[in-house]
Amino acid sequence: MQNPPGEEPETNLSVTPPKKWAAGVPAVVHALEYSLEQTSPRRTGVDLLAMNQVGGIDCPGCAWADPAPGQRHRNEYCENGAKHINDEATKRRITADFFREHSVSDLAGRSDMWLNQQGRLTEPMIKRQGSDHYEPIGWNDALGVLAGELTSLSSPDEAVFYTSGRASNEAAFLLQLFARAYGTNNLPDCSNMCHESSGFALSETLGTGKGTVSLDDLHHADLIFLVGQNPGTNHPRQLSALEEAKRNGARIVAVNPLPEAGLRRFKNPQKPSGLIGRGTQIADRFLHIKPGGDLALFQALNRLLLEAEDARPGTVLDHDFIDAHTSGFEEFAQHARTVDWDDVRAATGLTREEIEKVRDEVLRSDRVVVCWAMGITQHKHGVPTIREIVNFMLLRGNLGRAGTGVCPVRGHSNVQGDRTMGIWEQMPDSFLDALREEFGFDPPRPHGLDSVNSIKAMREGRVKVFLALAGNFVRAAPDSEVTEEAMRSCRLTAHISTKLNRSHTVCGDTALILPTLGRTERDVQADGEQFVTVENSMSEVHTSQGRLEPASHLLLSEVAILCRLARRTLGGKPDIPWDRFEGDYHTIRDHISRIVPGFHDFNARVTRPGGFQLPNPVNEGVFNTSVGKALFTRNERVVPKAPEGHLLLQTLRSHDQWNTIPYSLDDRYRGIHGSRHVVLVNPADLAGLGLSQGDQVDLVSVWADGTERRARNFEVVPYPAAQGSAAAYYPETNVLVPLDSVADISNQPTSKGIVVRLEPTSSRATTSTSSVSPAWR
């Protein structure tokens, strides 16, 4: 039996015990293996030493912050950063011959991994209506086709402009400027599927959508929570910060349905002791929580803190802070006292004693930081969960002081910067007013379409043109079959990309591939060599400058593509100096400095070593909420439940993938080798379901409207997942997430917490052979 298109047909699973530590010698060796295979050693060496250094290349991986300039290591990167950069710097090339050989239908049957491994895109290509092949096209003609479609639409709202978080600030700013000058706020982005819940919850309660901590705060916290986050795999250098915090005496509480390797021990590859020693223990306490139980956990902790205050008045809560800076305490407290311990137990799977021990940790700690990521945001109740975390922080004034704060750990290297630059379908009037002042046109005011609503609009024929600045929309989005049908119903789909992916193969009547420079490459324009800028998870803005020769002389920079497209489409109205923008990126930054708060003297400040940090109002005691104070909120209780015989599935990343792109079929830290078609389930659940290790199952999700969705041929792996839960890899399981299954308020797809049943596959997959050893010892 074949796996569906986009997925590896051949698998050969073997399972070893999950690792109990992350990032030591094997991590480094593994990255080098990947580099040597994809690039020449010389090229690799040049790239890696420039990575995350002052004046060098910002790692195109995650958004973790760099240490202060004087404190950086010679090798300031992790295994994954090395893999990401080498994936871009590969020597392999996709030329016109490749597309002559492979039809679009052929490519649509290939796996994500295969498509990515074909190398860098080198020249613009078009698939014309009725044809099944991409063919070469000149830049002028390609942009002419796109501009022609855009100008022929009956309304600008019939186009959407998607952005993925690897785009630079300059490119992101230009894309939103172009879209708004053209007449639409349809600016969906990967953030709609990532930290949207964080943005909504934090803006409402604290008046800023961004995290409030710096690396220094983490280093000096007494207690750090890691909730719904897998730093060993997804933010490896966070482990160095946690190691430093522990050296300074911090304690760490990890909350996760999986005992991830990076939450246990860290062997620092940048230190001699990291190579041979036992490493640093990361979590002092591990809460093996049920998926979606975090809201109940923080509600329980908040109740315990209120009761501790009752027992010893004046010693637990920060009354000065609450009185001066918050609103809604009484209503919140009244509600919090009604938390029911049976509900908490049912929602979290944790005992009251376990939670009381965490309360004691909190009471011993003057400075607390809470970090979170997709394990929180991608639930239906992601927004209330984050609000409840904010309640928890407000109670003891753990905001705005050194060593305290909230830390939504961002994914893509510049996802936060793209938002700052205006990539959002709901930018506030203050930003739109500033655009009007600066450029003299009236940006549209009605909110545009986010990712989920874009798919709905495409499906219903309301959107006809899709342009993506980076990313792999059809694989990142939920409900894969629905999304693919929506993309195929467009008149034109176009992608500004570095590498081939499935979104190029699931296309509209006409499709364009617009190949672009990557971060690693020199970007030379009319006024000389350019750099771009990015913002990390801690709101630090700095430069990134590529050093390699471009993969092809036909590549244009993202900025150049957008400027030329804008000129062709808008024909000089409004009067925006696109030519000057293309020739010299300083001119773009000049405009940004007058539009985006915190960016004054942008060009001067960003070229200082380490760049500059954007101010966070919370750290200045300012809460720009509806009432001018931080808000306590009352959040309804949620006890996530799967019906009898079902499990709550989370879709997550392996150690060897970058979002929609698997680099290999292995997940070393979890002990999975040779296949991604696995489902990790607690042995007790397996026993209850009459399943055992190595069984082949289909994952069947059941949605409220009675429809079912199926992901075929997964091999069962017993794993220490919290009882009642299951885990399987994204994007293979996106097919299971209904388009309507979104988080309340944020409209973010619920990629965690999907109700599924495991149905034995009728005939065993003939392509799969297993040599399975127990995963859990």
Instruction: Write each residue from 274 to 313 as x if it is in contact with ligand MGD (CB under 6 A), else as -, in one continuous string.
Output: ---------------x-xx-x-------------------
Q: Are strands 223-227 and 159-163 parallel, antiparallel or unpaired?
A: unpaired
Nearest Cα to 178, choosing from 558, 712, 683, 698?
558
Buried b (16+ CB within 10 A) or exposed e, 288-318: bbbbbbbbbbbbbbbbbbbebbeeeeeebbb
Give the phi and the psi of residue 234 in degrees, each rounded to 5. Answer: -105, -20
In angstroms, how far is CA 418 from the centroid of its own chain? Answer: 13
Show contacts with ligand SF4 in window 36-65 (CB under 6 A): 59, 61-62, 64
Total residues belonging to the chain:
777
- Looking at 174, 455, 476, 743, which residue binds ligand MGD (CB under 6 A)? 476
188, 403, 518, 611: residue in contact with ligand MGD (rule CB under 6 A): 518
Rounded to whole angstroms, how far apart are CA atoms 360 and 305?
9
End-to-end CA distance of the chain: 32
- Of 407-415, 566-574, 646-654, 666-674, the segment contacting Mo ion by CB under 5 A is 407-415
- DSSP code for 65: P
Which residues does 452 contact at the CB level (< 8 Å), separation at least 6?
192, 477, 478, 739, 742, 747, 749
Q: Does 411 bind Mo ion (CB under 5 A)?
A: yes
Per rule CB under 5 A, is residue 749 in the interface with Mo ion?
no
Phi, psi of 252 (to 5 degrees): -130, 130
CB of 381 to ligand MGD, least distance (A): 10
Nearest approach, Cβ of residue 675 and ligand SF4 (Å)? 24
Asked if 519 is part of the footprint of ligand SF4 (rule: CB under 6 A), the reply reads no
674 binds, among ligand SF4, Mo ion, ligand MGD, none (CB under 5 to 8 A by kind): none
Minimal distance in Å, beta carbon 490 to ligand MGD? 17
Instruction: List binders of ligand SF4 among 210-239 (CB under 6 A).
Output: 235-237
The distance of closest approach from Cβ of residue 429 to ligand MGD in the complex, given in angstroms and rounded to an integer, is 27
Which is closer to ligand MGD, CB of 493 or CB of 516? Answer: 516
Q: Positive or negative CA dihedral for 423, 428, 431, 436? A: positive
Q: For 38-72, give the DSSP string.
A: HS-HHHHHHHHHHBTSTTSBPPSSB-PPPPPGGG-
Whether the bond between 313 and the residue before it is cis, its omega within 30 degrees of 0, is no
Interface mask toward Mo ion for 158-197; x: CB under 5 A: ------------------------------------x---
Helical axes 294-311 vs 341-348, angle rounded to 10°: 140
- Find which of ligand MGD, Mo ion, ligand SF4, none residue 613 binds, CB within 5 to 8 Å per kind: none
- Closer CB to Mo ion, 145 or 727, in the complex: 727
* CA dist., res. 301 & res. 359, Å (int): 6
Between 153 and 732, name the residue whose CB sits nearer to ligand MGD.
732
CB of 28 to Mo ion, least distance (A): 25
The kind and range of the H/E element at 689 are helix 683-689
Give the whole-angstrom CA distance, residue 85 versus residue 90. 9
Whether the CB-CB separation of 570 and 181 falls below 8 Å is answered with yes
- Considering only residues 642 through 671, tell me which ones interact with ligand MGD, judged by CB under 6 A: 650-653, 657-661
| Minimum distance from residue 605 beta carbon to ligand MGD (Å) | 24
Residue 289 binds which entry of ligand SF4, ligand MGD, Mo ion, none, CB below 5-8 Å type-dependent: ligand MGD
Number of residues that bind ligand SF4 (CB under 6 A): 11
Residue whose CB is less far from ligand MGD, 541 or 551: 551
Which partner, Mo ion, ligand MGD, ligand SF4, none, binds residue 256 by CB below 5 to 8 Å per kind?
ligand MGD
The two tokens of residue 670 are 């979890």
752 makes contact with ligand MGD (CB under 6 A): yes
Which of 11, 38 has the CB closer to ligand SF4? 38
Q: Which residues does 118 contact at the CB level (< 8 Å), separation at least 6?
A: 92, 94, 98, 500
CB of 762 to ligand MGD, least distance (A): 25
Using CA atoms, how far apart are residues 497 and 517, in angstroms rounded to an integer? Answer: 8
Among 126, 137, 159, 193, binds ligand MGD (CB under 6 A): 193
471 touches ligand SF4 by CB under 6 A: no
Number of Cβ within a 10 Å radius of residue 532:
26
Nearest distance, CB of residue 446 and ligand MGD, angstroms: 25
List the beta strands (DSSP E) in 436-509: 465-469, 492-497
Beta-carbon contacts of 383 under 8 Å, excluding residues fewer than 6 positions away, are: 197, 200, 201, 743, 744, 745, 746
The strands making up 368-372's β-sheet, listed across from edge to edge, are 285-287, 251-255, 223-227, 368-372, 405-408
CA distance 410 to 362: 25
Mask of contacts with ligand SF4, 74-113, x by CB under 6 A? ---xx-xx--------------------------------
Residue 570 binds which of ligand SF4, Mo ion, ligand MGD, none (CB < 5-8 A, kind-dependent): none
By C-beta, is 118 or 767 nearer to ligand MGD? 118
Residues lying near ligand MGD in the complex (CB under 6 A) are found at 62, 80, 164-166, 190, 193-194, 227-230, 233-234, 255-258, 260, 289, 291-292, 294, 373-375, 378-379, 411-412, 469-473, 476, 496-499, 501, 516, 518-519, 558, 650-653, 657-661, 730, 733-734, 737, 751-752
Q: Please give the residue ranges that form the binding site for Mo ion (CB under 5 A).
A: 194, 411
Q: Which residues bind ligand SF4 (CB under 6 A)?
A: 59, 61-62, 64, 77-78, 80-81, 235-237
